[in-house]
Amino acid sequence: MASEYKTIKGQEFDRAAFESLLRRKCFLWQSFEPYGAVKGLFDYGPPLENLEAEVVNIWRDHFIRHEKMMALKCSMLTPYEVLKTSGHVEKFADYMCKDPKTGEILRSDHLIKDVIEARLKSDKEARGEKVEEAEEDPKRKKKQAKAAKGAVKLDDAVRKEYEHLLATLDDCTGDDMGALIKKHEIRNPTSGNEVEPPVSVNLMFQTQIGATGKEPAFLRPETAQGQFLSFQKLLEFSDNQLPMASASIGYSFRNELSPRSGLLRVREFLMAEVEHFVDPESGKKHPKFANVRDVKLPLLDRKTQNAGNTTPTVTSIGEAVDSKLVDNETLGYFLVRIMLFMEKIGIDTTKLRFRQHMANEMAHYAADCWDCELLSSYGWIECVGCADRSAYDLSVHEKATGTFLKVREPLKEPVKIEEWQANLDKKKSGPKLKKDQAKVEAALKGLSQEFKEKLSLTMEKQGKVEVPVPEMESGKVELDKDIVSFVKETRMETMREYTPNVIEPSFGVGRILYSLMEHVYWTREGDAARSVMSFKPTIAPIKVLVVPLQKDTRFAHLLQELEQKLDDDQLSFKVDQSGVSIGKRYSRNDELGIPFGITIDYESLEGKGFTLRDRDSTKQVRASLDEILEAVVKMCKGKETWEDVAKRLPAFEGKEE
Ligand SMILES: Nc1ncnc2c1ncn2[C@@H]1O[C@H](COP(=O)(O)OP(=O)(O)OP(=O)(O)O)[C@@H](O)[C@H]1O
């Protein structure tokens, strides 16, 4: 809840002050501002762009290098047929309602939810019960308040109906939502106007390849399809060995109907996706699962959610997989790796949970799905989806294209196979079947073993059989024993063919960055204006702040030497030589999250070293330049902490003002 959301220091989180910092320090802004800005599109300024690069580097190291994944870069422009086969053309859609008078477009489920929640809130107020704050942004709260205006205490039966409606909203079709809007007289909260019935709108951006219009295409809504269609190359690269995994970091595009909550719902965003291919007959075991068995995760399972509870249970992943709460080892292994990644980049893990998808949320083909959700002032937000997509994608693409998307591997022991065959005597069947010959042949080939056995018995008794041929106008054909025979043949099988299953952790980088920025934001006690962004040194956008005590030309040569050495150590740095006090210079750069400050003072001129300041504690040490730089390099690589450094190097009692 927004009201319960606290900073890492337990302070009330002030979203307005936080957003003002992001703007002031140029972390981000809406794209194309001089043209009035475009909703759902953001430009990243220098601090956020650098932060993204650092986080992506850690992601690459944590997943691609550590897990020996195959990095891929696939095209963003995707032909229509690919996304038709994957189901996106038909199903990747949301319902929207239009306000015919203002032209405003509202996502139907959001509209219903907002209005009904507002009525329930108002009812609670009327009953004098404690009201929880809306989890969404202030604009949404305003809308809710407006919607609730005039609402009175509800009838018990209506209240129950509303609660049930909210719990089952995810199951509603467009028609269901249309009926709800009518029945409950739901109007646009902003204008008070009636809205048009819901219409399904596909969320993909459509375009075309070339100028002829003959090659329709989309900007991809996820990176996954390119990876599936590279399956054969990946298998070759991994010497035909499974499990294997590919990974892709790249942009995806979704024409969200009502983008809101800043970076949390945008129309163009960076995704980092893994496709881990595994033999389904292996029980989806993971070779490194034993290493993570004892790691504990906060798991909010389906049963708990069904009971209306949102408190996760902290469980070791070993127990969760043994009890089948988490479907298999591979899925469990990735949940652990996701949490370790979040910890590594500085996410506050008390604001992290894994939520299992409810049955109605999962794609029909998915075996199990867990979202890694992060708590921000907007509430719990899905930042990583981790799904077991079974064999769905490879199977549908194989069926649509005829391309072999399976694994063939030699069997340890050859297996004796007994199979019914339908043998068509083409010489005799030709004159009878004429142009339908090929269709009948294909139909016979496609018959199941059981059906072929049944037909052999019929043939024995009646000397003829009726075979279904959907491709023929008549839909069937009668064949006698001169034309077709059914025989049981025995052969030795030496190879096994199977379609791998896919476990897919899918990261939305922007949502993670936003949550991270909220998690590291706090204000120094006693002075509300002094905000700090406590980025870990390993990911901080700028590593070092250089502050000469005063504007004094005598510092010039030391400054030059320091800059050269920082550059040699590949440390990013900022020099603040402005005339304001050291304290002010430190505190305004704390807002950028620079973890370390090096001061050049008059004692430095006498060869007595430099001071190094830690952003979070504001403690300082004094040492030679080489000692200081060695410490900074180690801390920025995550090899040492400030506590380690403070034990090694002599403390310095510097004043900040
Ligand atoms: N519009 C968006 N803006 C920013 N990030 C997004 C957006 N849509 C999805 N993501 C990110 O991509 C990840 C994987 O996408 P996925 O298709 O699982 O999301 P989703 O279930 O459609 O999300 P939601 O239900 O919130 O729209 C999400 O966990 C999220 O971090």
Measured from the CB, is residue 228 less than 6 Å from ligand 1? Answer: no
518 CA → ligand 1 middle, Å: 19
- 500-527 in b/e form (b: 16+ CB < 10 A) is bbbbbbbbbbbbbbbbbbbbbbbbeeee
Question: Which mutation among 511, 515, 516 tests ligand 1's pocket best, with the greatest number of atoms within 8 A of CB?
Answer: 511
Across the chain, mean pLDDT equals 91
Q: pLDDT tens digit string along 371-416?
A: 999 999 999 999 999 999 999 999 999 999 999 999 999 998 999 9
Spatial neighbors of 445 by CB under 8 A, at least 6 apart, are: 422
Q: What is the DSSP string of 65-131?
A: ITTT-EEE---SEEEHHHHHHTTHHHHSEEEEEE-TTT--EEEHHHHHHHHHHHHHHHHHHHHT---
Measured from the CB, is residue 510 less than 6 Å from ligand 1? Answer: yes
pLDDT of 154 above 80: yes
- 236-266 in b/e form (b: 16+ CB < 10 A) is eebeeebbbbbbbbbebbbbbbebbbbbbbb
Structurally, at CATH architecture level, domain 542-652 sits in 3-Layer(aba) Sandwich (3.40)
Ligand 1 atom with the shortest distance to the CA of 384: 29
pLDDT of the residue at 426: 87
Measured from the CB, is residue 385 less than 6 Å from ligand 1? Answer: yes
Which of 42-46, 165-169, 379-383, 579-583 shows the lowest per-residue confidence on average (mean pLDDT)? Answer: 165-169
> Atom 24 of ligand 1 has which residue's CA nearest to it?
382
> Atom 14 of ligand 1 has which residue's CA nearest to it?
506
Residue type at position 606 = E
Higher pLDDT pick, 370 / 257: 370
47 preceded by a cis bond (ω within 30 of 0): no
Contact, 614 vs 595, CB < 8 A? yes
Q: pLDDT tens digit string along 192-225?
A: 999 999 999 999 999 999 988 889 999 999 999 9
pLDDT of 584 above 70: yes
> Atom 16 of ligand 1 has which residue's CA nearest to it?
385
Measured from the CB, is residue 221 less than 6 Å from ligand 1? Answer: no
507 CA → ligand 1 middle, Å: 8
pLDDT of the residue at 120: 87
The CATH number for 93-202, chosen from 1.10.8.870, 3.40.30.10, 3.40.50.300, 3.30.40.230, is 3.30.40.230
271 CA → ligand 1 middle, Å: 9
> Atom 7 of ligand 1 has which residue's CA nearest to it?
265
pLDDT of the residue at 141: 58
CA 266 to chain centre: 13
pLDDT of the residue at 527: 56
Most distant CA pair in the chain, distance: 112
pLDDT of the residue at 2: 42
Q: Under CATH, what is the fold of the domain 15-75+220-392+503-507?
A: BirA Bifunctional Protein; domain 2 (3.30.930)
Ligand 1 atom with the shortest distance to the CA of 512: 31
From 527, 528, 578, select the one nearest 549 (Cα to Cα): 578
Measured from the CB, is residue 256 less than 6 Å from ligand 1? Answer: yes
Rounded Cα–Cα distance for residues 221 and 253 (Å): 5
Average pLDDT rounded to a whole number, residues 42-67: 98
pLDDT of the residue at 134: 44
Measured from the CB, is residue 369 less than 6 Å from ligand 1? Answer: no
Token digits of residue 287: 């070779």
224 CA → ligand 1 middle, Å: 13
> Atom 31 of ligand 1 has which residue's CA nearest to it?
508
330 CA → ligand 1 middle, Å: 22
Contact, 194 vs 187, CB < 8 A? yes
Measured from the CB, is residue 379 less than 6 Å from ligand 1? Answer: no
Which ipTM value was assigned to this complex? 0.98
Measured from the CB, is residue 265 less than 6 Å from ligand 1? Answer: yes
Alpha helix segments (H runs only) across 486-624: 509-520, 556-568, 582-590, 602-605
Measured from the CB, is residue 433 less than 6 Å from ligand 1? Answer: no
CA 608 to chain centre: 51
Rounded Cα–Cα distance for residues 353 and 344 (Å): 16
pLDDT of the residue at 619: 95
573 CA → ligand 1 middle, Å: 34
369 CA → ligand 1 middle, Å: 14
From 231, 227, 209, 238, select the one nearest 271 (Cα to Cα): 227
Q: pLDDT tens digit string along 344-367?
A: 999 999 999 999 998 877 777 788
Confidence of residue 656 (pLDDT cuts 50, 70, 90): low
pLDDT of the residue at 262: 84
Higher pLDDT pick, 318 / 580: 318
Which of 130-139, 488-497, 594-603 shows the lowest per-residue confidence on average (mean pLDDT)? Answer: 130-139
Q: List Cα–Cα distances, 209 to 86, 204, 253, 284, 412, in angstroms.
A: 19, 15, 17, 39, 47
pLDDT of the residue at 130: 60
pLDDT of 3 above 60: no
Ligand 1 atom with the shortest distance to the CA of 271: 12
> Atom 26 of ligand 1 has which residue's CA nearest to it?
382
> Atom 9 of ligand 1 has which residue's CA nearest to it?
508
Q: Locate the domains of the chain by residue range.
A: 15-75+220-392+503-507, 93-202, 415-494, 542-652
165 CA → ligand 1 middle, Å: 24
- Alpha-carbon Rg for the chain in angstroms: 31
pLDDT of the residue at 551: 82
Average pLDDT rounded to a whole number, residues 262-283: 94
> Atom 10 of ligand 1 has which residue's CA nearest to it?
508
Residue position matching structure tokens 């029909």: 364
Give the length of the chain.
657
From 379, 310, 447, 291, select the one nearest 15 (Cα to Cα): 379
Confidence of residue 152 (pLDDT cuts 50, 70, 90): low
Ligand 1 atom with the shortest distance to the CA of 383: 31
> Atom 27 of ligand 1 has which residue's CA nearest to it?
265
Q: Under CATH, what is the fold of the domain 415-494?
A: 3.30.720
> Atom 21 of ligand 1 has which residue's CA nearest to it?
385
> Atom 12 of ligand 1 has which residue's CA nearest to it?
508
Average pLDDT rounded to a whole number, residues 46-59: 98
pLDDT of 126 above 90: no
Phi, psi of 31 (to 5 degrees): -70, 150
Which of left, alpha, beta for 607 (phi over 0: left; psi -120 to 50: alpha)?
left
Measured from the CB, is residue 370 less than 6 Å from ligand 1? Answer: no
> 94: which strand partners?
201
The angle at the Cα of 616, spanning 610 to 622, to the nearest 5 degrees, equals 15
What percentage of the chain carries pLDDT values higher than 90? Answer: 72
Measured from the CB, is residue 537 less than 6 Å from ligand 1? Answer: no
Higher pLDDT pick, 643 / 579: 643
Ligand 1 atom with the shortest distance to the CA of 387: 18
Q: What is the DSSP string of 19-75?
A: HHHHHHTTSEEETTGGGT--TT-EEE-HHHHHHHHHHHHHHIIIIIITTT-EEE---
Token digits of residue 591: 């807002």
